[in-house]
Chains A and B, each alone.
Chain A
Amino acid sequence: MTKLIKAEFYRVTHSGIFFVVFVVFGLLPLAMPFISLADMNEVNMFYILLAYAQGGGFLISGYVGIVLSAMISNMFQNRTYYYEIMNGANTHHIILSKIIVYNCITAAVLIIPAIITFAIMGNIYPLGDLKQLWLTIILGIIIILNFACFTIFIRHILGGPVLIYTISMLPTMAYMTISELTDGYKWLTDALSYMPQIQIMEFVKPEYETNFIIKVIGSFFVSFIGLYALTYVSYKKKNFR
């Protein structure tokens, strides 16, 4: 599988402008705390993370949905993954190598710069409840990786970047609209809150209920296992193996 990981990483970093776009625009969500908190007097790390989640979360949805999906689409359009099949690679290895490569790229672009930025800000602004801060960061990482995996799997199963963007953004739009409405739709907002697109905007809380933590971690595992199985079946079917 190491061969496949190296090959895919080489292809992504040398193929077209998607990687550059992903790096440049992927860093944009980090600007949100600076923009939102510029005129606030009392700032601590909780507010910084809140500003990142509420403003940056929306951007992350877009970038993971569109650019990450476009990077994977390139592989399908050029049929370069055929080389992996024709070399006798195991289907699990093919899928897992993509998961590893794209999650590493996502981590390098969205998670690591964010942690470095927050670490620097932590030296400037009060940290608040340290345990709460760590929990927030860990949940944020799980949600972002869940969203990246969701995009990778859905792109394997379904069509092009536009469809993935729609799938990525539709729950966000629906959630934002419905949450303004009456309690009659609470079941729908509850259902949508299992999706990483929604969790990314909602994960910063002054205090966590156990239910929420279980929901974030649980939805990661359920969605990973479920979508992995679907991707495997789809991969086999698409390649008539």
Chain B
Amino acid sequence: MNVIELKNISKTYGKKTVVDNFSLNVEKGHICGLIGPNGAGKTTIMKMMAGLAAPSKGEMSFFGKSDNLDQFRNRMAFMLEAPIIDKSMNARQNMEYVRYVKGVADKKKIDEMLDFVGLHDVGKKAAGKFSLGMTQRLGIAMALLTEPEIMVLDEPVNGLDPEGIVEIRLMLKKLSEEKNVTIIISSHILSELSELCTDFSIINHGKQIENLSREELMAKCRSYYAIRTNDINRTAAVIEDKLGTNQYKVIHGDEIRLFDHLDNIEKVSKTITDNGLILTKFISEGESLEDFYLSKVGAEND
């Protein structure tokens, strides 16, 4: 079931079109990555979902309904641009404010969430004095307070150190797996989201470039060993018999692309040569995620 559907939505400010005919379907429990360079229109799309901007054209629906979307927004949580916090209040007070706005009855959730994001020991320090990482964590804690069914996060790992990025990634994965939370997350770095997301939507200059699943992305960015030998047919047989895999393709009858055993180059080469074959080419090839992303976005930019 699609919990979010955007159909050909556009947003125009004056004569400038910021989002142009963008469509997206997100299934329940999926994590959708909205990927695009800065200024691509990612935040505007999220603002339209949050009700902070109205689409100039197109239709949005949440949980299968397109009428009176405001009534569904309390089942969703948004973290747009920088986290929205009152800088003069401390972490707990900011959480308390959101608790009142959202009408969360259980006060204990505040401690639980602060603990969850590692901010339980910041005491009375004003949020304005927080580091960027702490601010991001507080923003996520505030978004999680209501146990939303859908989370919309705009570059939540922006400014975090590598350790922090991994922590947030694991946290979101856990939320999706354990609580079936649907997540839409934006970033301008594809590799940052490649391990997290189940679906991807690439956008540039407000236009949709491509929507694809993780499997489709991985297939497009698949690495392989390009192998040539003196006998390509016997090499294929050796790969199947001795390496026990059929994850390969014969290209133009003279080259094999092996997609398996990529972490064991020694074993592959030794197996082939031990079976009396002579290697004439053996290299690792393939398009990286960044190459793929740049080929999509770069082509648009050119």
Contact = CB atoms under 8 A, between A and B. Distances in A.
B165 interface: no
Nearest to B142: A83
A225 B85 CA distance: 32
Interface string B57-90: 0000000000001111110101010001111110
Contact of B86 (A78, A85, A88): A78
Interface in A166-217: none
A89 B52 CA distance: 12
Contacts of A10: 93, 96-97, 100
Given A74-B88, A80-B84, A80-B86, A11 B97 contact: yes
B101 A7 contact: yes
B162 interface: no
B103 interface: yes
Contacts of A79: 84
A88 to B, nearest CB: 4
28 contacts: A3-B100, A7-B100, A10-B93, A11-B89, A11-B97, A14-B89, A15-B86, A15-B89, A78-B86, A79-B84, A80-B85, A80-B86, A82-B52, A83-B84, A83-B98, A85-B50, A85-B52, A86-B52, A86-B76, A86-B78, A90-B70, A239-B53, A240-B52, A240-B54, A241-B51, A241-B52, A241-B53, A241-B54
A127 interface: no
A41 interface: no
B103 A3 contact: yes
B74 A15 contact: no
A141 interface: no
5 tightest Cβ-Cβ pairs between the two chains A and B: A7-B100, A88-B73, A88-B70, A16-B88, A240-B53
Contact of B101 (A4, A74, A90, A240): A4
Nearest to A82: B84
A16 B76 CA distance: 29
Nearest to B146: A87
Contacts of B174: none
B86 A87 contact: no
A99 to B, nearest CB: 17
B107 interface: no
B101 A84 contact: yes
Contacts, number: 78
A72 to B, nearest CB: 13
B71 A88 contact: yes
A87 B97 CA distance: 13
Interface string B258-298: 00000000000000000000000000000000000000000
A6 interface: yes
Contacts of A241: 51-54
B146 to A, nearest CB: 9
B102 interface: yes
Given A7-B101, A90-B70, A14 B93 contact: yes
Interface string A80-121: 101111111110000000000000000000000000000000
Interface in A57-89: 74, 78-80, 82-89
Contacts of A6: 100
B101 A85 contact: no
Nearest to B50: A86
Contacts of B54: 240-241
B127 to A, nearest CB: 9
A11 B96 CA distance: 9
A102 to B, nearest CB: 16
B53 A86 contact: no
A162 B213 CA distance: 52
B74 A83 contact: no
A84 B47 CA distance: 14
Contacts of A86: 50-52, 73, 76, 78
B93 to A, nearest CB: 5
Nearest to A75: B86
A14 B93 CA distance: 7
Given A86-B78, A240-B53, 20 more contacts: A3-B103, A10-B96, A10-B97, A10-B100, A11-B86, A15-B86, A82-B52, A83-B97, A83-B102, A88-B51, A88-B69, A88-B70, A88-B71, A88-B73, A88-B74, A239-B52, A239-B53, A240-B54, A241-B51, A241-B53
B55 to A, nearest CB: 10
Interface string B25-61: 0000000000000000000000100111110000000
